[in-house]
Each structure stands twice: as structure tokens, then as C-alpha cells.
């Protein structure tokens, strides 16, 4: 079996300007350093707003921080008359390694559907970015279809039709758990992540399924992270609110310490 390095992602959403970004990234990197965090045991990635990316990239580069950088969205197009959109080419130039695609807030407020998520995934692959494809059911869908039907369907739709499937990450985020303080139980999260992996295996083979990191997201905190990552089916977490607090997010990245307790 491939060893999947745990993936700890901080989605800042529309928070922190580029100056506040410097303060947070410095505090986070120093906290992880103070605690002798070994990045080979848990990769730590921040996803700031577009306007912060250049600043954070420069800081990471200058200070030789081991943190990695991601963007919160990208255009399905490479260039042209798409006012307000951001090309994957620009993100790649900024040394962004990852890009969130199809976050539930984009699906909800920008009407992003499965076909746009698929096209954006293709754009990420074209530019050498690793897509972090977000999937998850609403409360209504949970009640009518159960927990795994929608995330499995969204995952397969995002992965359909690509000539080559480059590395990607899936983030399972039940919409009802995002920013609400309501958390899926570790068991619920593990079950859905396992079903997503089984569906990837059935459609794209065991090699792809085995290598793919599948995360849980939705009201993750330092106090509950270890429960999720205790399961072999959950390879990391996508953190919103708690990633805006350097000490809290550092505590999440050091989840192995909680496991050891
Ligand atoms: P939350 O957000 O941790 O604030 O619930 C998670 C996300 O939206 O990625």
C-alpha cells in the first residue's frame, strides 16, 4: 500500500489581507518549529485569498518555511476575456502547489456545478497544480440520500473524462458541518471517505485509489482532529475557521501528538 502523507489544509476563505497574512504565516511556521514539527509526517498547506498569494509565496521562499501554498479557486480557462477570473498559469507562476476546486461555498454562491468542477480540475492538471476537489452533501441531501451518495457522485463527476489522471486530493466536507460547529462523527467521516475511495477504485483502479489522499472537513479543531485521523480512511483535514488562529492550526497539524496521548 502507498504511504499517504497526512495533509493538513487551512482554507482562510475571504479573511486576512496580505499584511495580516504575513503575521499569521510567521506565527504558524514559528509555532511548528518550536514544536519540532516534522513536515514529512504531516504536510501543512495554507490557502489564502488571491491577493495574499504573492506575499505569502515571497515569505515562504525568503524564510525557507516548509509550509506549502494553495489557492482557493481557479478559472477553467487559461487566459482571455474572463474578467475577474484567475488562470492556473498565474497560480503555477506563484509556486502554488494546490488549488481548492468546488468548495461548497462556490457551489452555493457561484452556482458551480459538477461540469464546471470537472473543467476546473482539467485546468489544474494542465498547469501542474494538484486539485483539492471538495465534495459533500447538504442537510437535505443527507436526509433524502444518506451521507455518501452525493460526495461519491461529485467525486466521480470531477474525475470523469480526463485523459490522464494526475495526483489529486478529495476533501469530504458535509455542507451541514461547515462553519456550524456541528461535526460529523469520526465514524461517519471515515465511512464516507472509505466509500469515496471504493468508488475511485471501481472507476479508476486500485493504484489511483490507494495513492489518493481523502480529507475530512467541517468544524475541525485541535480538540477533535485526532478522532478523524485515527482512521486509516481519512488522510487529512481541510480546516476553515480554526486555520485563522496560528496556535490552533499548529495544534491541528501536530495531531500525531494527540494520537500519542
Ligand atoms: P470550517 O470550514 O472548518 O470553518 O467548518 C471548513 C471549510 O469550509 O473548508
Q: What is the reported pLDDT for 259?
A: 66
Percent of the chain with pLDDT over 70: 98
Q: What is the reported pLDDT for 261?
A: 47
> What distance in angstroms lies between residue 218's CA and the mean position of ligand 1's atoms?
5
- pLDDT per residue over 82-139, tens digit each? 999 999 999 999 999 999 999 999 999 999 999 999 999 999 999 999 999 999 999 9
Among the ranges given (12-16, 46-50, 161-165, 224-228), the one the predictor scored with the smallest mean pLDDT: 161-165
- Of 53, 61, 56, which Cα lies nearest the Cα of 23? 56
For residues 22 and 63, give the distance between their C-alpha atoms in angstroms, rounded to a whole number.
11
Contact 62, 95 (CB under 8 A): no
Which residues are marked as active site? 103, 173
Q: How far apart are the first and last CA of the chain?
A: 27
> What distance in angstroms lies between residue 26's CA and the mean position of ligand 1's atoms?
22
> What distance in angstroms lies between residue 8's CA and the mean position of ligand 1's atoms?
12
Q: Ligand 1: which residue has its CA nearest to atom 2?
A: 240
CA distances from 37 to 29, 68, 183 (A): 9, 14, 26
- pLDDT per residue over 43-80, tens digit each? 999 999 999 999 999 999 999 999 999 999 999 999 99
What domains sit in the chain, N to C, each tagged with a CATH number? 7-260 (3.20.20.70)
Tell me, using a 6 A CB cutoff, whether residue 243 lines ligand 1. no
Contact 170, 214 (CB under 8 A): yes
Pocket test for ligand 1, best of 218, 224, 242 (most atoms within 8 A of CB): 218
Tell me, using a 6 A CB cutoff, whether residue 178 lines ligand 1. yes
Q: What is the reported pLDDT for 179?
A: 85
- Of 218, 226, 222, which Cα lies nearest the Cα of 252? 222
Q: What is the reported pLDDT for 37?
A: 95
Pocket test for ligand 1, best of 240, 244, 245, 248 (most atoms within 8 A of CB): 240
Other CB atoms within a 10 A radius of the CB of residue 233 amount to 18
> What distance in angstroms lies between residue 197's CA and the mean position of ligand 1's atoms?
22
For residues 124 and 76, give the distance between their C-alpha atoms in angstroms, rounded to a whole number.
8
Question: Is the pLDDT reported for residue 1 higher than 70?
Answer: no
Determine the atom of ligand 1 nearest the C-alpha atom of 239: 3
Percent of the chain with pLDDT over 90: 93
For residues 50 and 64, give the distance between their C-alpha atoms in angstroms, rounded to a whole number.
21
Pocket test for ligand 1, best of 108, 238, 252 (most atoms within 8 A of CB): 238
Calculate the CA dihedral of residues 75, 76, 82, 88 and round it to 10 degrees: 50
Q: Ligand 1: which residue has its CA nearest to atom 3?
A: 240
Average pLDDT over residues 226-236: 95
Question: Is the pLDDT reported for residue 258 higher than 80?
Answer: no
Contact 58, 23 (CB under 8 A): no
Determine the atom of ligand 1 nearest the C-alpha atom of 243: 3
The DSSP symbol for 81 reads S
Determine the atom of ligand 1 nearest the C-alpha atom of 241: 4
Amino acid at each position: 500500500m502507498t504511504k499517504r502523507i497526512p495533509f493538513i489544509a487551512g482554507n482562510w476563505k475571504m479573511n486576512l489581507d496580505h499584511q495580516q497574512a504575513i503575521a499569521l504565516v510567521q506565527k504558524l511556521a514559528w509555532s511548528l518549529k518550536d514544536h519540532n514539527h516534522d513536515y514529512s509526517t504531516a504536510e501543512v498547506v495554507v490557502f489564502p485569498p488571491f491577493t495574499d498569494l504573492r506575499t505569502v509565496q515571497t515569505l515562504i521562499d525568503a524564510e525557507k518555511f516548509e509550509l506549502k501554498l494553495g489557492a482557493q479557486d481557479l478559472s477553467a480557462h487559461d487566459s482571455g476575456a474572463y474578467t475577474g477570473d484567475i488562470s492556473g498559469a498565474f497560480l503555477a507562476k506563484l509556486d502554488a502547489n494546490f488549488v481548492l476546486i468546488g468548495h461548497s461555498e462556490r457551489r452555493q454562491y457561484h452556482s458551480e456545478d459538477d461540469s464546471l468542477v470537472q473543467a476546473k480540475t482539467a485546468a489544474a492538471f494542465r498547469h501542474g497544480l494538484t486539485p483539492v476537489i471538495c465534495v459533500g452533501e447538504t442537510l437535505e441531501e443527507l436526509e433524502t440520500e444518506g451521507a455518501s451518495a452525493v460526495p461519491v457522485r461529485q467525486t466521480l463527476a470531477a474525475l470523469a473524462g480526463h485523459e490522464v489522471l494526475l495526483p489529486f486530493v478529495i476533501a469530504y466536507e458535509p455542507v451541514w458541518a461547515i462553519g456550524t460547529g456541528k461535526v460529523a462523527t469520526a465514524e461517519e467521516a471515515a465511512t464516507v471517505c472509505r466509500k469515496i475511495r471504493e468508488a475511485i477504485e471501481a472507476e479508476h483502479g486500485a493504484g489511483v485509489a490507494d495513492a489518493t489522499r481523502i480529507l475530512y472537513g467541517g468544524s475541525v479543531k485541535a480538540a477533535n482532529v485526532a478522532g478523524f485521523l485515527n482512521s486509516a480512511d481519512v488522510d487529512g483535514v481541510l480546516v476553515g475557521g480554526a486555520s485563522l488562529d496560528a496556535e490552533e492550526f499548529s495544534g491541528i497539524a501536530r495531531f500525531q501528538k494527540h494520537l500519542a496521548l
